[in-house]
Amino acid sequence: MHSLAFTLLACCIFSIAQAFVPCVPDLRAKNAQRVGAINVVPLELEGQLDPTKTWDVKMTYKGETKVLTVSEDTCILEAAEKEWDVPCSCRNGICTTCAGRVIANPDSKKEAIHGLSAEQSKNGFVLTCQTHPCGPGLEVELGMYDTVYESQYGQYEKKATTEQKSKFNVFG
């Protein structure tokens, strides 16, 4: 009985506090603006990127290399889409469809890491929808989804027996 009373009291206090803490409505408004928006700067990088600064980023896709001038508030994916039909889906760092690999000057990027493992990040993989330039000499190879998928799930796919594959139909 004590714990129920305590829980009710805590809920009341939280509800009242929500009405008076100014940051709660701010966050709600901010999140409402982000819903459905594309190419927004990840929350983790807000305030860290200077939109007045641009950097030359060397990008390679399907064997073609181009140097693109990209502002800090533009993600690598958005810049690449102006030149190529590069794959992407969620634009939120979850699906890894837009994966790329940084091949030079990794300190010249800022990223929000969501759908990659620590090992993949250590090996230079990035989610280009969550990666922004912030310095000179950044070089990125695009179209690394298959490689990322292989390192994330391919190992399990190979280990699965025929019975497991047909039972769960996970790997088609």
Beta carbons of 103 and 133 less than 8 angstroms apart: no
The yes or no reply on residue 96 touching ligand FES (CB under 6 A) is: yes
Interaction between residue 95 and ligand FES (CB under 6 A): yes
Shortest distance (Å) from residue 94 CB to ligand FES: 5
Tell me if 140 contacts ligand FES by CB under 6 A. Answer: no
Long-range contacts of 142-146 (CB under 8 A, 24+ apart): 142/59, 142/60, 142/61, 142/76, 142/80, 142/84, 142/86, 142/100, 143/61, 143/62, 143/86, 143/87, 143/100, 144/99, 144/100, 144/101, 145/87, 145/96, 145/97, 145/98, 145/99
User: For ligand FES, which residue of 45, 59, 76, 88 counts as binding (CB under 6 A)?
Assistant: 88
Nearer to ligand FES, 94 or 170 (CB): 94
Q: State which of positions 106-135 bind ligand FES (CB under 6 A).
A: 115, 127, 129
Q: Which is nearer to ligand FES, 96 or 134 (CB)?
A: 96
- Provide, rounded to whole angstroms, the least separation between the CB of residue 88 and ligand FES: 4
Build a one-symbol-per-residue string for 41-80: x at contacts with ligand FES by CB under 6 A, - elsewhere. ----------------------------------------
**Cβ neighbourhood burial of 99 (10 Å; 0-12, 13-18, 19+):** buried
Cα–Cα dist 76/93, whole Å: 13
List residues binding ligand FES (CB under 6 A). 88-91, 93-98, 115, 127, 129
